[in-house]
């Protein structure tokens, strides 16, 4: 994953990254940490007989407060309008430990990882403060970010994290595209000829897989109206529910994707094209030159994205949460769901 950097002004030693042009998306982060408290304190915390009161209840409040104060603690961290902070605990009698998990969420231009980590730290420090009179040999450890989601990079999971670690009730929620039959089509003369690596198609594949879709087909083809038509018709006949193409949405003489599908499809979902251009314009005014759009062929939703991997990531972040409802309606489902 590439990390964004910012050029500092001359003479400046620090600079808070400018996120003004980034897209507002739903961001979620989950962090964890643990504290070992020894056998006596472990039993008394569970029995709520500690001198200062209910340790875990106070630590839950402290964790939430710490998450809300993150920007005050970290000078270069953006102040975020947090919409949800949850702190919960798990006990481990084998090590006389308590695990703290903090989940932070916001609709924002940058992630909430630091808020989740601050929440864990605040909760663990509160336990430390309320326990040190009973057991001074306390140890805080295993603090890490378990997962984060949102923005153009989508979902990231720590290699050591369990699938359900720290998610609470979110562990029972299915991924956005759980079980959706999908296909990826890259239209590029150079990629088809082996002269260039298909980065955009890989971005789409990863996004689909991270959100639970079943990627049944992946093809790289030249910018050809006949080849494009053959591929999407074949997949639509096979009941592939979601087809995402990349490339061929520009103004060049070989850019034929959108024009071809306008002639071939049953209908155009013009609203998705409009939001792609409007929201992408926050990144670059050249977005208004894109003919990105979406179409319905039989019962398949076809999403046509630009050929740049960066643009593909941004576009998936813009419309990703709309795709499940679109598929639901195409299947004949209720508009209000």
d(CA 163, CA 309): 27
CA angle 197, 198, 202 (to 5 degrees): 130
Handedness of CA 73, 74, 75, 78 (dihedral sign): negative
Q: Which among 129, 142, 189, 291 is annotated as catalytic?
A: 129
| Under 8 Å between Cβ of 221 and 307 | no
Structure token pair of residue 201: 């198609």
Is 129 among the catalytic positions?
yes
d(CA 321, CA 195): 34
CA distances from 247 to 47, 54, 187, 294 (A): 62, 59, 5, 13
| Nearest alpha carbon to residue 232 among 223, 245, 220, 222 | 245
Instruction: Label residues 10-25 b or e (16+ Cβ within 10 Å = b).
Output: eeeeeeeeeeeebbbb
Structure token pair of residue 278: 């409007």
Active site residues: 129
């Amino acid at each position: 994953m590439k990390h964004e950097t910012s050029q500092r002004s001359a003479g400046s030693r620090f600079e808070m990254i400018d996120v003004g042009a980034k897209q507002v998306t739903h961001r979620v982060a989950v962090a964890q940490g643990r504290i070992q408290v020894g056998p006596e304190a472990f039993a008394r915390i569970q029995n709520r007989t500690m001198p200062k009161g209910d340790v875990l209840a106070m630590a839950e409040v402290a964790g939430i407060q710490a998450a809300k104060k993150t920007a005050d603690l970290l000078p270069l961290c953006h102040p975020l309008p947090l919409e949800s902070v949850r702190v919960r605990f798990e006990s481990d009698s084998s090590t006389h430990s308590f695990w703290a998990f903090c989940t932070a969420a916001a609709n924002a231009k940058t992630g909430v990882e630091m808020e989740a980590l601050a929440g864990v730290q605040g909760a663990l420090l509160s336990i430390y403060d309320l326990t040190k009179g009973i057991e001074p040999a306390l140890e805080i450890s295993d603090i890490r970010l378990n997962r984060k989601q949102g923005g153009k990079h989508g979902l990231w999971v720590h290699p050591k994290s369990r699938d359900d670690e720290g998610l609470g009730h979110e562990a029972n929620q299915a991924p956005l595209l759980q079980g959706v039959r999908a296909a990826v089509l890259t239209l590029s003369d150079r990629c088809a000829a082996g002269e260039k690596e298909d980065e955009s198609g890989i971005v789409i594949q990863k996004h689909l897989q991270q959100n639970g879709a079943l990627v049944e087909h992946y093809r790289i083809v030249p910018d050809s109206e006949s080849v494009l038509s053959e591929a999407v018709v074949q997949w639509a006949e096979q009941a592939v529910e979601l087809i995402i193409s990349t490339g061929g949405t520009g103004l060049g003489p070989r850019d034929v994707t959108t024009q071809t599908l306008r002639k071939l499809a049953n209908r155009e979902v013009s609203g998705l094209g409009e939001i792609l251009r409007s929201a992408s314009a926050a990144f670059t005014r050249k977005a208004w030159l894109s003919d990105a759009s979406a179409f319905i062929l039989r019962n398949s939703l076809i999403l046509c994205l630009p050929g740049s991997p960066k643009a593909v990531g941004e576009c998936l972040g813009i419309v990703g949460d709309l795709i499940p409802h679109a598929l639901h309606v195409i299947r004949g489902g209720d508009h209000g769901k």
